[in-house]
Each structure stands twice: as structure tokens, then as C-alpha cells.
Structure 1
Amino acid sequence: MPASFGAVFLMLCLLQIKHMFADYYLQTPKMLAGRGEYFHAGRAQHAAVHVVGSVAVFALFGAPLTFILIVAALEWVVHFNIDFAKARYSDKKRLQPNQAAFWRAAGLDQLMHNLTYIVMVWAWVTFAA
């Protein structure tokens, strides 16, 4: 049976709530420091926090374990690299919160994460619902 509009909308809402908590409430100083380095343990942990939340959302909707594991691995890689790109750009340009470019970089980062969730929900509708 195809996913209902209500289920898709609810899943997107839950992923947004998860994102807000993972990005704004659950980041530790280790996750925030040194983000311009590619192999950064804090960024890896931050991406893992996002994955744990997404796994919970997909499990709540009864997605198959194989689907959840594939989506989780892909989300981790994508999230890690989106955050690295933003950090690298922000460091290179020495961006500060009082600069418009800082907020454009932050906005692009959030847009990329939101588009990731749209793709994840599309994958659930297409392959798992």
C-alpha cells in the first residue's frame, strides 16, 4: 500500500524536529571545535547523532531494517560532508555572525540538510512504504 500524504508529512515533520535537536541542542564542544579539518571526530559524532534520530523515525514507521541501515549510512556520509563543506568555506572566508556571507553559508547548509530529508522520505515512499 502506498504511503499516505499524512504519513509523508508526519515523517518530514519528525525529521525536521530531529534535525533541530541534533543541530542546536545536542552538539557538544567537541562537535563544534576544529570543524575545518576533514577527519574530525566531533563531526563524525554529530553526524551519528543525526543518524540515530533518523533511525528512530524510520523504525517508528516500520521501515525494513535493511532500508534503515542503507539510509543511515548514506545520511551519515552526506551530513558529514555538508557540514565539512560549510565549515571549510566559513573558515577560509573567516566568516563571523555579523557578516551576511556567514548567514548565507548557514542557510545553504540547512537547505542541503532539508533536501537530504526530502530525498530520504522519497526513498522510503519508493522502496519501503
Structure 2
Amino acid sequence: MTASIGAVFLMLCLLLIKHMFADYYLQTPKMLSGRGEYFHLGRAQHAAVHVVGSVVVFLVFGAPLSFILIVGALEWFIHFNIDFIKASYSDKKRLEPTQPAFWRAAGLDQLMHNLTYVAMVWAWVTFAAA
């Protein structure tokens, strides 16, 4: 492990900033509608936006292309499914922003995404950091 603590925290911060933009600024109406369906093109596009941001972060840190491709594919799959689980649960329970359960579901969704970034940074330190 040759990555510095500073590099680890910087990468994590950049991934979290990327997440905020991809989740809250870059979603289109297509990405937000019909999210309770599993095979949803909008959710696939949303997950791809996340991957593009992560690719930029890993390129900045000089990660090898093979690492970026593997981590990107895993991030896409994980993000797609985390969002589906939250949307499916929220739809089944008919959750609205006025209900505490809505915010618990949203919070768990965000926690799972954040833990994904912790795992991605761990993978970079373990397999790709120079």
C-alpha cells in the first residue's frame, strides 16, 4: 500500500462530490420516472452518469485502465441495484416525503452508495495505487 492518507481522503471526497452532482443535479425526468421497474433505461443511464464521474476521478489518480473498467462495471451494477431496491420498496410502501419511512429509505440508499465509495477507494489502495 503506497497511497497516502491524503490521497485516500481526497479520492473519497471527490467521489462523494461526484455523487452529489450525479444524484441531485444531473438526473433527467427519464431517470426519475418509472424507477420501480427493474429493466429501466433511465436508471441504467443514471448509473452510467455515476460511472463516468468515477472514471474521471480514477483517471486523475492515474489508475490503470483495466482497474477503471472493472470498478466501473461493478459500480454500475451496484448503483443500479441499490436504486432499484429503494424505488421498489418506496413504491410498494407508497412512501411520500412527509413520511419518516421515506427518509429512512433515502438515508439507507445514500449510506449504501457511500459505502460503495469506501469499497472503491479500498480497491484502489489495494490493487491500483502506485
Under TM normalisation by the shorter chain, which class is it? over 0.9
Q: Which residue of 2 is the match for residue 40 of structure 1?
A: 40
Query: What are the residue-to-residue correspondences of 1:1-20 with 2, within 5 Å?
Result: 2-20=2-20
Q: TM-score, normalised by structure 2?
A: 0.99
Query: What are the residue-to-residue correspondences of 1:73-112 with 2, within 5 Å?
Result: 73-112=73-112
Q: Aligned letter for 1:32?
A: L
Please report how far the alpha carbon of residue 97 of structure 1 lies from its aligned counterpart in structure 2 after TM superposition. 0.1
Please report how far the alpha carbon of residue 101 of structure 1 lies from its aligned counterpart in structure 2 after TM superposition. 0.0
Q: Aligned letter for 1:57?
A: V
Partner Cα separation in structure 2 for residue 20 and residue 73 of structure 1:
20
Q: Which residue of 2 is the match for residue 27 of structure 1?
A: 27
CA deviation digits over 1:69-125, x for unaligned, max 9?
A: 000000000000000000000000000000000000000000000000000000000
Q: Which residue of 2 is the match for residue 113 of structure 1?
A: 113
Query: What are the residue-to-residue correspondences of 1:42-81 with 2, within 5 Å?
Result: 42-81=42-81
Please report how far the alpha carbon of residue 15 of structure 1 lies from its aligned counterpart in structure 2 after TM superposition. 0.2
Q: Which residue of 1 is the match for residue 125 of structure 2?
A: 125
Unaligned runs of 5+ in 1: none
Q: Aligned letter for 1:46?
A: H
CA deviation digits over 1:38-83, x for unaligned, max 9?
A: 0000000000000000000000000000000000000000000000
Partner Cα separation in structure 2 for residue 39 and residue 128 of structure 1:
32
CA RMSD of aligned residues (A): 0.6
Q: SS in structure 1 opposite 2:53?
A: helix
Unaligned runs of 5+ in 2: none
Partner Cα separation in structure 2 for residue 104 and residue 2 of structure 1:
38
